[in-house]
Structure 1
Amino acid sequence: MIKRRLVGGILLLVLALFELFLFITYCVEYLAYGQLSDAVFMSKYLIFMIWSIVLGIIYIATCKRRPVKWQEITLECISPALLLFTYSSLVAYLPAYNLFRLVAFLLIVFQCLGLPGKNGFKDHPFVVKDQGHDSQSIEKLTKLKELLDSGAITQEEFDQEKEKIWK
């Protein structure tokens, strides 16, 4: 089990749900005072919260599996893109969003906590494709072995041909 990913997923999920609660509270307050434009503006922020919830669930669900590199790179690319989309205008909009900024910073930290390093996690490296050998190469190798056993080729010739077949 990848404990760092599990902890990151749980923290991410809990904090994103807390942030969703804050979001709903602010939107209800804005709508109560007739500030529809502010409520619509805040709805852009909802995308990042939903992504954080989904990512927390993904981290929790995949904490027992070895990571696949292309999937992890995809997750690493989506988060910053959504962050830029969401916070590009939020940060400059009102100083009253300091709590949202703090929670967003923590969400980013927890997202990074669940991501693998360069080679995967310490005890769970990235999944690599098996170098499966087709039936033709196995057949050729079997024939080569028969030729070696019968004395028709030397061990050096066998090794050279074997290298060619496995490449």
Structure 2
Amino acid sequence: MSNRFKWIKSENDIKMLRRFEKSMKDRLHGYSMLNKQLFSLFIEKKSTNAPIRDEDLRRWAFKLNSQMENSIINFKGSRKWINSFKRSNNIVSRKITKFVTKRYSSDKEKIIKNAENFVNETKKCIQENNPDLVINTDQSGFQLELHWSRTLEICGKKTVEGLAQSNCHYT
């Protein structure tokens, strides 16, 4: 033993090494538990279509760490840790492609059914009339309020929905 590990001089060094090994196992276990809890919280918050940023992940990680039974001592939630968390869970920053209201989330099925009915009626109207007389007026986009244009989302999702910040459009 003394040939392979020359820095071990006494029984005290071996005890310190065992204590260090045990604390590392606890720390790694704490990180894995924190990752699982933070990812489930991320999924929960994404279901409300709220915009999420790196600072939100960091704040939630601190809160979850303080609530854990075996909390990670000296947890910093550094930028490197946030980036590795995002990379391991396939989370990327994406531009919000569709802004929705809180009511939209609750009435989603009804809205989809109404949209399908509208498309069917429009096709019927186009077939009955001359296509040159049908005008598409839905080509202009207007920004009615300032909002975040990006959010964190799981990689590969085609449409990224974001919650609009207000229901009325008074400026």
Same fold (TM over 0.5): no
Structure ranking higher in strand proportion: 2
If each structure's helix is expressed as a fraction of its own residues, which one has the higher value?
Answer: 1
Q: Under a length normalisation based on structure 1, what TM-score does the superposition of the two structures give? A: 0.32
